[in-house]
Amino acid sequence: MDKSRRVIVAGAGPAGLVAAAYLAGEGIPVTIVEQERDLPDDLRASTFHPPTLDMLGRFPGVVDRLIAQGLICPTWQFRDRATGPIATFEMARLKDDTAHPYRLQCEQWRLTRMLRDILADNPDVEFLYDAKATEVAQDADGVTLTIERPDGSAEKIAGAYLVGADGARSAVRRSLGIGFDGMTIPETYLTLSTTFRFEDHIPDVANIAYISDPEEWFVLLQAAGLWRVLLPTAPEEAADEARMLAPARIQERMQGVWPNPAGYEIRHRTAYRVHERVADSYVKGRVFLAGDAAHINNPLGGMGMNGGVHDAFNLAQKLSAVWRGEADLSLMERYSRQRRKVALDVVQQQALRNRQLLNQRDPAVRKAYHDELRGIVADPEKHRAYLLRSSMIQSLRDLEDVA
């Protein structure tokens, strides 16, 4: 490999590895830089939307393997904690819009390992682990990425272009001086995985359920063999992390979700703050941001990881054309305009609206929200239009209008 004629990808999460796999499939040499010793096991994202699965069909066998390891969800719903289902959305209404008219629940780390398997035998693909991106320099001919090793030593690697997919605290973004303004949601999200079979106890519960309640809303997500429960935690409780994560307190909160005299077996637990932030630009010269390095958002609606994969496809498709000489570098500015618009106008707005709907305390406003959802589900045209938006299909169609 001529290492000055390669694309460097910083970050081996879904966005980074999808971009790398696309580029490598176009015959473009790639070096992937990952700060961890192995691929991260990030348990946060688990929802694959229909157009994401359509895109991933580019990589042979990946979608079939995800389906085999995950759970197909033909419906999802909003529920009232006290009265039950408000609106159940039927993904089959998208059968003419996608090859995958369902949501798939499958942990994102499974995707990254599948993509690594695809890349492993490609002689033009190199993985560098234990390599933390720290600084970027560039000129008219290429980029240089400085990486730091666990022993504190530093190395410089050169390439023609750099994809910064190194997460929310992106060193690539900071090194370029790109702003990342936004807000932090006050509550902490506590995510718990349990073997308890909610489907055997909660009447008519869908595999994906957003439960509205004026006192404490929550989300239930079923994956293969487990249910994940997302519980918002007030700042005053989250300030004492030891208490928030204490087994007794977790059991108390889970009993509030659904009484279980035998107690809950908890397989995983994690707590994290939620931010809504979008980079001022996704492109600077020969460096391009994607995934959490470019945008982070509330997980309600499952648009974060999916949006990162959509970034990666858009970016890699355009960069491939630039690499082949079919377009000049200015094409990448359109990538920035397109994907940034989606992050601001679609992903953030949908996630914020979902949170507002679930968290609403005013009885009259809650009733109006619920009546609106019932009306949408009852009208076939509105039902499909809502699913096109919530499944991110409409946002991809609208990109063609962004010059």
- Indicate the pLDDT class of residue 1, thresholds 50, 70 and 90: low
Measured between alpha carbons, how far is 207 from 220 in angstroms, rounded to an integer? 7
Are 151 and 130 in contact, with CB atoms under 8 Å apart? no
pLDDT digits (tens, 9 = 90+) for 270-298: 998 888 899 999 999 999 999 999 999 87
pLDDT at residue 351, rounded to an integer: 59
Closest CA to 83 of 207, 213, 200, 198: 213
Q: In the predicted model, what is the mean pLDDT of residues 121-141?
A: 96
Beta strands 218-223; 208-212: pairing state = antiparallel
Measured between alpha carbons, how far is 133 from 293 in angstroms, rounded to an integer? 12
Measured between alpha carbons, how far is 38 from 21 in angstroms, rounded to an integer? 17
Are 139 and 162 in contact, with CB atoms under 8 Å apart? no
The domain locations on the chain are 7-71+104-181+276-359
The secondary structure of residue 187, as a DSSP letter, is: E
Question: For residue 206, what are its two tokens?
Answer: 């869908």
Give whole-number Cα distances, 160 to 45, 145, 312, 322, in Å.
31, 11, 17, 11
Measured between alpha carbons, how far is 99 from 295 in angstroms, rounded to an integer? 27
Decide if pLDDT at 72 tops 80.
Answer: yes
Q: What is the pTM of this model?
A: 0.94
Phi/psi for 321 (5° steps) reads -65, -40
The secondary structure of residue 178, as a DSSP letter, is: -
Measured between alpha carbons, how far is 281 from 266 in angstroms, rounded to an integer? 41
pLDDT above 70: percentage of residues in the chain: 96
* CATH code linked to domain 7-71+104-181+276-359: 3.50.50.60
Measured between alpha carbons, how far is 45 from 320 in angstroms, rounded to an integer? 28
